[in-house]
Structure 1
Amino acid sequence: MFGFEYFGGVITLLVIALVFSMFRVLREYERGVIFMLGRFYKVKGPGLIILIPVLQQMVRVDLRTVVMDVPTQDVISRDNVSVQVNAVIYFRVLDPERAIIQVENFLEATSQLSQTTLRSVLGQHDLDDMLAERDRLNTDIQNILDKQTAAWGIKVANVEIKHVDLNETMVRAIAKQAEAERERRAKVIHAAGEYEAAEKLAQAAEVLAHEDKAIQLRYMQTLVEIAGDKSNTIVFPMPVDILEKLNTKPGE
């Protein structure tokens, strides 16, 4: 009698456990991929999910955006410069069925694919492009990843290159290049200024050559400027032709 009661109690506990195992609660951002005897049945959720014990199994899938760091990669640029680059990618699952069935581990697969794509894309560009055109490179990497992960039901929303690390030799070389570029620009600006000044002087000389009164006024202005100096003695050369014109009476 005792054995029968014990056996009945065990059966009752098993039944209760099976009943409780039938119920699953999925949050708003979760979906359950249901398998019936190993075959795909349907995607359920969110809310309360009822499963047939033993016959049905469920795999939870998180639909929230995943922020994944891409480990630092050694990249050789197109101009044979060795750099270390790391990035971060943002992606989310759009199709839970394909994310579970088409790939064994979509998180690991996406991580590995992002690493190889990062090395491949950056290796096709020069170092200057990596430093100055990150937005374009981010877009190129994102498009490639998005196309390849679409078969897994994954949408890559964004890719950001975080750091491009150079060795000290390359840092010094870039600093010298930047300094040389600044000197070149300064010389170009100085030469342009000299050229513009020479043009203006040539125009002024042309005007003075044809206007006698203009050259006289210029001499007078120069005399005034010299007079403002602290020197007590002023030696000012005056061309003879100007003196003759000044001494010439009107009508002569």
Structure 2
Amino acid sequence: MPVAMIAYLVIAFFALALLASAIRVFREYERGVMFTLGRFTGVRGPGLILMLPYIQQMVRVDLRVIVLDVPSQDVISRDNVSVKVNAVLYFRVVDPDKSVIQVANFMQATSQLAQTTLRSVLGKHSLDEMLGERDKLNRDIQEILDSQTDAWGIKVTNVEIKQVDISESMIRAIAKQAEAERVRRAKIINAEGEQQAAQKLVEAAEIMGGAPASMQLRYLGALHDIASDRTNTIVLPLPTGLMEALSGMRKPKA
């Protein structure tokens, strides 16, 4: 009797172990790629999944968005400037069967592809474009990665260049270039102001030339402005014609 009971207990234990190995529970964001005797037989999940032990195998795949940090890459720009660039990649699995069957390790494959694509795309642009056109570069890298990883069942949702590191000498050169650009703009603005002022003076001279009395009024207005400050000394220039007229008045009549 004890031997038979032990045998029943052993059989019950193996039956429970077999049943436990046949049950799988998948969360809402998980899928299971099923293989029966080595052949692909479909994608299961989410929920409770039953499988035949030792006959069927299942690979668990996560469908959530994965954040991949692309390591810093040494890039030589189109204008021969050496920079270090790192980025972050957002992607997710859309076809679980392809991510398991078509590529051995989709995480490692995507990481290596992102590094080579980052160097290739940025090497075609100048340093100014890297610093000022990041949105365009992000879109270009995303489109290339998305098209190449489509065969692996992966959708690249976003690529962001985090930081562009340049040498200290290049930083000083960029600062000098920015300063020279500001000086150039200041000179242009000053020249444009002088041009506009000269044009307005010509127009004013033409108007005053048509009305000689306006010159006298302008002259009196200038004197009034100077007289408001008592610390100034007023010098009144006398026209040559007025001096001649006064001299004529002083001469005795014959």
Fold shared, TM-score > 0.5 on shorter chain: yes
Query: Relative to 1, partners in 2 of residues 1:172 and 1:110: Cα closer, same or farther, differing over 3 Å?
Result: same
| Secondary structure in 2 matching 1:175 | helix
Match of 2:175 in 1: 175
Distance 1:212 1:108 in 2: 88
Query: Relative to 1, partners in 2 of residues 1:121 and 1:232: Cα closer, same or farther, differing over 3 Å?
Result: closer
| Secondary structure in 2 matching 1:80 | coil
Q: C-alpha displacement at 1:223, in angstroms? A: 1.4
Match of 2:151 in 1: 151
For normalisation by structure 2, the TM-score amounts to: 0.91
Match of 1:249 in 2: none
Distance 1:104 1:75 in 2: 28
For normalisation by structure 1, the TM-score amounts to: 0.92
Query: Relative to 1, partners in 2 of residues 1:140 and 1:242: Cα closer, same or farther, differing over 3 Å?
Result: farther
Distance 1:44 1:169 in 2: 58
Distance 1:124 1:210 in 2: 64
Aligned residues: percent identity? 63
Distance 2:98 2:241 in 1: 100
1:30-45 paired onto structure 2 within 5 Å: 30-45=30-45
Q: C-alpha displacement at 1:16, in angstroms? A: 1.2
8 Å CA contact 1:216–1:242 kept in 2: the answer is no
| Secondary structure in 2 matching 1:25 | strand
Q: C-alpha displacement at 1:243, in angstroms? A: 9.3
Q: Is 2:80 aligned against 1:80? A: yes
Match of 1:136 in 2: 136
1:61-140 paired onto structure 2 within 5 Å: 61-140=61-140
Distance 1:232 1:104 in 2: 92
1:147-226 paired onto structure 2 within 5 Å: 147-226=147-226
Query: Relative to 1, partners in 2 of residues 1:82 and 1:177: Cα closer, same or farther, differing over 3 Å?
Result: same
Q: C-alpha displacement at 1:13, in angstroms? A: 1.4
Match of 1:59 in 2: 59
Query: Relative to 1, partners in 2 of residues 1:39 and 1:205: Cα closer, same or farther, differing over 3 Å?
Result: same
Moved more, 210-219 or 143-152: 210-219
Q: C-alpha displacement at 1:92, in angstroms? A: 0.5
Give the letter for the 1:237 counterpart.
P
8 Å CA contact 2:226–2:232 kept in 1: the answer is no
The runs of 5 or more residues in structure 2 that have no matched partner are: 245-254
Match of 1:47 in 2: 47
| Secondary structure in 2 matching 1:53 | coil
Distance 2:171 2:112 in 1: 30
Q: C-alpha displacement at 1:225, in angstroms? A: 1.6
Match of 1:250 in 2: none
RMSD of aligned alpha carbons: 1.9
The runs of 5 or more residues in structure 1 that have no matched partner are: 245-252
Match of 1:238 in 2: 238
Distance 1:133 1:88 in 2: 17
Query: Relative to 1, partners in 2 of residues 1:17 and 1:208: Cα closer, same or farther, differing over 3 Å?
Result: same
| Secondary structure in 1 matching 2:80 | coil
Q: C-alpha displacement at 1:207, in angstroms? A: 1.8
Q: Which runs of 4+ in 1 moved over 3 A?
A: 1-9, 240-244
Q: C-alpha displacement at 1:204, in angstroms? A: 1.3
Give the letter for the 1:236 counterpart.
L
8 Å CA contact 1:110–1:149 kept in 2: the answer is yes
> Could you report, residue by residue, the CA deviation over 1:60-86 in whole angstroms, capped at 9, with x for unpaired residues?
000000011000000000000000000
Distance 2:232 2:6 in 1: 131
Distance 1:160 1:214 in 2: 67
Q: C-alpha displacement at 1:205, in angstroms? A: 1.6
Q: C-alpha displacement at 1:2, in angstroms? A: 6.0
